């Protein structure tokens, strides 16, 4: 059977299959041929997505710039590009494109909503309010725009107005289940702020009940348990002198991309965002908030292998550093690079395999406060659907850390959230010294810098204010709800010094 060389379908299907299977090098070669051989067909978006998924952020940006160059640029296309940039944490570019799209077609509701949604996810409350108000003028009945408006009332600390708007939303026979789900979560946060703790918990449980309807909980739980057990087993099987063994085949003198690098991890909601902002205020620190740089190399590292070729590890080091520095809005030259990334804590051994010189900074917080804070997160994950599941997730993360911290020659430090809020200059100086630096006066006023930086966590407002102590001991208001999991948390309370 003759092959029609003018038919791109077979090659396109093959490229898609390769990308889906994670064989990105072959997929990218095929996409490159497609855009060359069929210039009038629009394969650029898929090509860019494949490059981004491969961790080739520079290539992805080149592709997206090429898309803009060949034009024409509609507002919808620019908004889509903004979304793609946002997926790889290039927020400055995403922001600029979102505004460009909105200005190009001021009457395009979807484009205006895209801008409003982006701004509402950052610290730009005033800008977000203006964008949301514009959406409501275009479509006063839009459920998404009404939700964003109510969300901003809460961000503006107008809790009475926010609660009323969310209750009005829930009474209005909403069609979008996502808006229903998030509205219950927002109500829970408002009720928590106004000290209606039992009502807050009731709203949380309703939100999680609705979220659980959207996925196969049993299957998700099975996958989570298998991954947890597999990850723990791999780490616990490694000897305490594993760093020395790895260093024998990958000594310092053959490592490329030498940088001063620190990892900031721990369980989510342990004060990592606050600490990252404090350290980032130092002029010699360049910090990233949950950037995707490590995720682009983690799948390529097998910690069970006794040896990995040096050229392979050096390739991963170069890719990581290039992608990490790319997402920084300011120059990182000469700075200590800080990767704040709690989700990567369970993969810290893989990180150390590629970067044995890594400084590991682990944020601690009372495990009971961590549970409450995590339960208030609007994540559609089986580990967040119940307090027992959360406790199990916490044990997995912290068991890995407790194992790794026993390794010989590991450069590490633990810092407690409670110590930071009790005496910022004292504990902040101790942590800053761990990075090889002295405390800088800018760090005392870290919250002023943070007004200009995106926050990839739901505590947007908190890290743009001076430190405060109201979150310490928060769990006591929910003690009766936590009662079933307190025995599981007790060993960690003792190990980390919480009575």
pLDDT digits (tens, 9 = 90+) for 154-201: 999 999 999 999 999 999 989 999 999 999 999 999 999 999 999 999
pLDDT band of 476, cuts 50, 70, 90? very high
Residue appearing with tokens 């200590």? 336
- What span, in angstroms and rounded, lies between the C-alpha atoms of 390 and 93? 35
Cα dihedral across residues 269, 116, 114, 330: positive or negative: negative
Tokens linked to 433: 């010294």
Tokens of 470: 């109201």
- Assign 290 a pLDDT band (cuts: 50, 70, 90): confident
Does residue 150 carry a pLDDT above 70?
Answer: yes
- Can you tell me whether residue 265 is helix, strand or coil? strand
Query: Could you tell me how far CA 45 lies from the centroid of its own chain?
Result: 24
Q: What gap in Å lies between CA 423 and CA 415, rounded to an integer? A: 12
User: What is d(CA 292, CA 340) in angstroms, rounded to the nearest whole number?
Assistant: 11
Q: What is the pLDDT of residue 105?
A: 95
Q: How far apart are CA 149 and CA 128, in angstroms?
A: 9
- Mean pLDDT, rounded, for 317-332: 86
Task: Read off the pLDDT of each residue in 58-85 and give the average, rounded to a whole number.
Answer: 90
Interatomic CA distance for residues 204 and 189, integer angstroms: 9
pLDDT band at 69 (very low <50, low <70, confident <90, very high): confident
Beta-bridge partner residues of 361: 264, 413
**Cβ-based neighbour number of residue 230 at 10 Å:** 10
Write down the pLDDT at residue 3.
43
Q: Where are the beta strands (DSSP E) in 163-311?
A: 261-265, 285-289
Model pTM? 0.90
pLDDT category, 460, cuts 50, 70, 90? low
Choice among 52-66, 361-375, 464-478 with the minimum mean pLDDT: 464-478
Q: DSSP state, 67?
A: H
Model confidence pLDDT, tens digit, residues 22-56: 899 999 999 999 999 988 778 889 999 999 999 99
Residue of 245, 317, 278 lying closest to 448 (CA atoms): 278
What's the chain's length in residues?
499
Burial class, 496, CB count within 10 angstroms (exposed 0-12 / middle 13-18 / buried 19+): middle
Task: Provide the pLDDT for residue 447.
Answer: 77
CA distance 24 to 55: 9
Question: At 134, which helix (H) or strand (E)?
Answer: helix 125-138
Q: What domains, with CATH codes, occur in the chain?
A: 217-495 (3.40.50.300)
Cα diameter, the chain: 77
């Amino acid at each position: 059977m003759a092959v029609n060389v003018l038919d791109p379908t077979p090659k396109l299907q093959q490229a898609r299959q390769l990308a889906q299977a994670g064989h990105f090098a072959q997929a990218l070669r095929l996409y490159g041929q497609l855009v060359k051989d069929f210039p009038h067909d629009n394969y650029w978006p898929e090509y860019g997505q494949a490059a981004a998924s491969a961790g080739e952020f520079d290539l992805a940006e080149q592709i997206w710039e090429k898309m803009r160059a060949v034009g024409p640029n509609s507002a919808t296309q620019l908004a889509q590009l903004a979304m793609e940039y946002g997926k790889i944490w290039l927020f400055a570019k995403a922001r600029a494109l979102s505004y460009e799209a909105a200005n190009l077609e001021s009457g395009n509701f979807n484009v205006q909503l895209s801008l409003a949604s982006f701004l509402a996810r950052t610290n730009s409350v005033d800008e977000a309010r203006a964008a949301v108000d514009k959406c409501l003028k275009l479509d006063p009945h839009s459920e998404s725009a009404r939700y964003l408006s109510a969300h901003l009332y809460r961000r503006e600390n107008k809790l009475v107005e926010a609660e009323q708007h969310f209750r009005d939303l829930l009474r209005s026979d909403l069609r979008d289940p996502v808006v229903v789900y998030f509205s219950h979560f927002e109500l829970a946060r408002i009720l928590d702020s106004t000290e209606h703790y039992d009502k807050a918990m009731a709203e949380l449980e309703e939100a999680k009940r609705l979220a659980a309807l959207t996925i196969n909980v049993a299957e998700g739980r099975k996958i989570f348990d298998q991954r947890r057990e597999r990850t723990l087993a791999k780490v616990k099987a490694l000897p305490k002198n594993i760093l020395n063994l790895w260093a024998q085949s990958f000594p310092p003198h053959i490592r490329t991309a030498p940088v001063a690098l620190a990892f900031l991890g721990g369980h989510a909601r342990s004060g990592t965002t606050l600490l990252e902002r404090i350290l980032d205020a130092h002029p010699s620190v360049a910090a990233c908030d949950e950037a995707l740089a490590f995720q682009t190399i983690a799948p390529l590292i097998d910690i069970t292998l006794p040896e990995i070729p040096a050229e392979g590890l050096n390739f991963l080091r170069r890719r990581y550093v290039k992608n990490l520095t790319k997402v920084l809005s300011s120059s990182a030259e000469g700075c200590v690079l800080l990767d704040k990334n709690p989700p990567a804590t369970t993969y810290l051994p893989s990180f150390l395999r590629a970067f044995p010189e890594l400084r590991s900074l682990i944020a601690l917080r009372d495990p009971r406060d961590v549970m409450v804070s995590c339960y208030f997160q609007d994540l559609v994950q089986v580990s967040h659907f119940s307090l027992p599941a959360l406790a199990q997730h916490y044990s997995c993360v912290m068991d890995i850390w407790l194992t790794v911290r026993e390794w010989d020659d590991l450069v590490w430090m633990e810092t407690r959230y409670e110590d930071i809020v009790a005496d910022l200059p004292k504990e902040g100086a101790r942590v800053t010294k761990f990075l090889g630096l002295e405390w800088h006066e800018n760090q005392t006023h870290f919250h002023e810098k943070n007004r200009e930086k995106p926050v990839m966590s739901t505590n947007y407002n908190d890290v743009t204010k001076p430190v405060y102590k109201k979150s310490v001991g928060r769990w006591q208001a929910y003690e009766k709800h936590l009662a079933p999991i307190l025995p599981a948390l007790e060993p960690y309370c003792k190990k980390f010094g919480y009575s």
